[in-house]
Structure 1
């Protein structure tokens, strides 16, 4: 009898511990992604942003290849959806390119607040692409979220820097990247998809190096260029580990904690402090995203109750 009474308690305790570990890993991933953007903004002051993009993908590829390669994992390169893998890799490259160039001119919090619109875009695009249509409440939340983006950018009021358009384009590319990732989940392994992720960045940028190359002025700049790939690769690895330990519904709200790290890094490294409009717009976008997550959880619970 002792086993039957203690085992459920141990199971719940173990489950809670795993979820807490997943949340910690998720927060670690977000810190890495924040450091990636801050590092890119720092090195962009002395080298061409395109060089930073190439360094981010090359260093991440070398780091990933040390763990994931066809010799340690036979069949790694085999994919059932090669064209879709290439499209996904290209979308990630375009998102990184737009974001890194925009970081030359925008504050970290500004770019992050615009990227927070990605869940809104995914919810909007999932209908026509995946057949996952949203209801009236979630559509209203998406509309409110885009109002938040307008508050941040303030087009037509003389406050919008043209680089905002690049940041928006990056968010759109990242939304399509998220959708293609979901489409590939049922066809290829996580290892295969991870290996293909940085392919487009290397293939498209390496031939351009003779024309875009800027020699880093110091050993520190070389180190920071290498760290862009380390932060990116480590962040994605921690993200995978987090989702292996906790459901997405639990982890997703913590995405918005990234604005804390971006705010701190922006102020410490660059002396940037967002204006009240940026804070207000970011709050609207975050509130809309959290409401979408709430409605998604309710939608999944309703069939269980009816059953």
Structure 2
């Protein structure tokens, strides 16, 4: 074991988990950057198809390594089908938005996901939501409006695509809550990845296949690897630390997106976009705080 591994193992569980969560957000932001590069050469559905094949292969190898049961019988579960459909829609809308929006804006709007999940849990799962969290939800979506700036000349309609991806991602996560506990995570992830991949190939005749240069292939290979690493890191973080402590570190993706957007694409967030991002993140952090207060620590973990 290396000295770095020994030093890491000596840290507390929550501190280890927070480092893993931060690293996972860095890999997800890197995946967004690489994918945005690819969208300049090929259509999003082609990215879904090609990257999906690579990601599905990595997930299959991971499932075999974990000795997880692999069977398409999971498709008999309605929640699995809903999750696959929602993930397909999330990917389609997010990639189309990413193609036209700065990295930081896309990441900031997507941080409304915890608020949307809370709203969806109230509407569809019957969970109680107090007035404080209702206020946080309202403030958070006001922050999204500040970023989108409707009625302002700088308004970009593709921001609505990010909002659509947030809604579908919330549907995906709520469907995950309804799944039987006997279904393994690698199995569900693999089935979903295959569904996204097949959707990409299904739409290819509509948009047409574009020849891919060697650099695009390399970009998609690394995008698939960062995506797989991000999922592995986030699973490790959630299993290792308390959710109430670890979850706020998800918002570090915004910092990484700003830095990568500046370095790779010369993007500069405006004061309005920065203010809206701070509002969304602040309301999301408060929602997580109220969630931690509402549930016992053992249940949250």
TM-score (norm 1): 0.88
Q: What's the RMSD between the two structures over aligned residues?
A: 2.3
Contact 2:68 2:187 survives alignment (8 Å): no
Q: Quickly say closer, same or farther: Cα 1:15–1:185, change in 2 above 3 A.
A: farther
- Residue 210 of structure 1 deviates from its aligned partner by 4.2
- Residue 208 of structure 1 deviates from its aligned partner by 3.2
- Return the alpha-carbon distance in structure 1 between the equivalents of residues 169 and 246 of structure 2: 19
Partner of 2:6: none
Higher radius of gyration, 1 or 2:
1
Partner of 2:164: 169
Contact 1:109 1:266 survives alignment (8 Å): yes
21, 28, 33: which one aligns with 2:16:
21
- Number of matched residues? 290
Which residues of structure 1 form unaligned runs of 5+?
A: 1-13
SS of alignment partner, residue 102 of structure 1: helix
78, 82, 92: which one aligns with 1:83:
78
Tell me, yes or no, if structure 1 residue 215 matches structure 2 residue 211.
yes
- Residue 269 of structure 1 deviates from its aligned partner by 0.2
Residue pairs, 1:262-281, within 5 angstroms: 262-281=257-276
- Residue 79 of structure 1 deviates from its aligned partner by 3.1
TM-score (norm 2): 0.89
Partner of 2:279: 284
181, 189, 197: which one aligns with 1:202:
197
- Residue 159 of structure 1 deviates from its aligned partner by 2.0
103, 113, 117: which one aligns with 2:112:
117
Partner of 1:9: none
Contact 1:69 1:76 survives alignment (8 Å): no
- Return the alpha-carbon distance in structure 1 between the equivalents of residues 17 and 180 of structure 2: 20
Which residues of structure 2 form unaligned runs of 5+?
A: 1-8
Partner of 2:252: 257
SS of alignment partner, residue 62 of structure 2: coil
- Residue 88 of structure 1 deviates from its aligned partner by 0.6
Tell me, yes or no, if structure 1 residue 63 matches structure 2 residue 58.
yes
Please identify, of 78-87 and 129-138, the stretch whose mean Cα deviation from structure 2 is larger: 78-87
Please identify, of 79-88 and 151-160, the stretch whose mean Cα deviation from structure 2 is larger: 79-88
245, 262, 286: which one aligns with 2:240:
245
- Residue 138 of structure 1 deviates from its aligned partner by 0.6
Per-residue CA distance 1:259-281 (angstroms, 9 max, x = gap): 11000100000000111110000
- Residue 81 of structure 1 deviates from its aligned partner by 5.6
